[in-house]
Amino acid sequence: SASPWIGGAAGAAWATVFSQYAALWMFLRWFKTEPGRTRSRIAERMRTSRRSPNFSSPHAPPPPPPTAEKDNSSAKSGGSGSGSGKGKRKGPPPSRGFLSGRFSVLDLFRLPDAKAVREFLPYVGPVTATAVGRISGYLAMSHVASSALGTIDMAAQQIIFSFFCCLTPVCDSLNLTAQSFVPPIFSREKRSRKRADALRRTLRSFLGAGVVMGAALVGLVAMIPFLGGFFTTDVTVMSQVTTAIPGLALFFALSGVVCVGEGMLLGQRDLKFLGNAYGAYFFAVPAVLLRLKRRALAGLQDVGVGTMWKTFSCYQVVRCAIWMIRMAQLQRRTEAESEDDAATGEIVITEPLGL
């Protein structure tokens, strides 16, 4: 389209905005609609439509009452479930409908109460530092590519960053899953050897999954030269894209392990350490990349998009090492606490007694 509001980059921006609001509407509809509520409405409408011809006849018989068989079966199922507990649903409660009758659109414009603010206030600083620290490196790379490199490297950077944004969420799933698995270990188990062993087994399992996922991502990165034809037909641009593949492969080879480490630390609520770490990354990563810019403008080094991604992959290596060291420290602390409790003869109850 020739319109500046619809075609080109503006159209893509508007599509992104509309997709965000559409996602918000879908989430709110899911959270506010109870399970089975929609199906019950449809079934009621179908019953009404079938009975509507009978309403015109004054001698139409009333609808038959529910059979005793169904009542007995439902009573049995309800009684057996409440008596033995086997019929109850295990696991976390479903997310669908948990805001039914508790939320209105006006709640989006109301300020939270003081109690909620006090509960979330300790998380604001670390979580904000984590989010800002993550994107500082991406902004610095874009700045270096646009101010110090040529148009060919800028085009190559756009292609590489597109692949990067597509592949990064794959490993983020490990981060979110680890955040879900770790807190129940601390809620169910008191300070004991059992908790330390459970934490070690969980870490070992997630690290194995992270290594496998990292290897899979490296395989996808190796396919970039074959997929680059969908993004450009310029041979020179594709040659610059190829120079960035080693750095990108190294980054994604460790991405699974890094996401596991971050999720384990978040699950153990090591928020202060993460906030301080990403606060340091916020200044360190752009400083190193801006040093590349100065050297490129001074003619001291032949800096290209490949050099930039190799430098950025070093940040991933450092982050992976720091996460591993921190997780080892927390594991040793958990084991030391369990040994101290065992030495003092403390009685630890890990599960409620069944009477």
- E strands of the chain, at which residues? none
Given this model, what pLDDT does residue 22 score?
92
Predicted pLDDT at 192:
66
CB neighbourhood size of 30 (10 A) = 13
The CA distance from 1 to 315, in Å, is 42
Instruction: Write the pLDDT tens digit of every residue in 161-187.
Output: 888 888 888 888 888 888 888 877 776
Question: 252: closest CA among 187, 170, 175?
Answer: 170
Please give the full DSSP string across 116-155, using - where no structure is assigned.
Answer: HHHHHHHHHHHHHHHHHHHHHHHHHHHHHHHHTS-HHHHH
**H or E segment and range at residue 177:** helix 151-188
Question: Token pair 């395989």 is at which residue?
Answer: 219
* Residues 76-123: tens digit of each pLDDT: 444 444 444 444 555 556 677 777 777 777 877 888 888 888 888 877
**Phi, psi at 53, each rounded to 5°:** -65, -30
Give the C-alpha distances (Å, rounded to integers) separating 84 from 34, 77, 278.
26, 11, 50
Nearest to 337 by CA among 193, 182, 189, 203: 193
- Give the burial class of 177: count Cβ atoms within 10 A of its Cβ; 0-12 exposed, 13-18 middle, 19 or more buried: middle
Given a cut of 50, whether residue 273 has pLDDT beyond it is yes
For residue 214, CA distances in Å to 218, 250, 251, 324 come to: 6, 9, 9, 16
DSSP 8-state secondary structure symbol assigned to residue 228: G
Per-residue pLDDT of 44-59, as tens digits, reads 665 665 555 544 444 4
255 and 217 Cβ atoms separated by less than 8 Å:
yes
pLDDT of residue 240: 86
Residues 303-319, mean pLDDT to the nearest whole number: 89
Eight-state DSSP code of residue 61:
P
Q: Regarding predicted confidence, which is higher, 132 or 347?
A: 132
For the full predicted model, state whether its pTM sits above 0.75: no
Task: Give 290: exposed, middle or buried? Use CB within 10 Å, 0-12, 13-18, 19+.
Answer: middle
Show the tokens assigned to 45. 């409408």
Query: Which among 310, 337, 202, 326 has a CA at the least distance from the CA of 275?
Result: 326
What pLDDT is recorded for position 37?
60
Rounded to whole angstroms, what are the CA distances from 86 to 78, 83, 351, 353? 11, 8, 19, 18
pLDDT digits (tens, 9 = 90+) for 17-76: 889 889 988 888 888 887 766 555 555 665 665 555 544 444 445 555 555 444 444 444
- pLDDT score for 189: 61
Please name which of 302, 155, 167 lies closest in space to residue 241, comparing C-alpha atoms: 155
pLDDT at 337 over 90: no
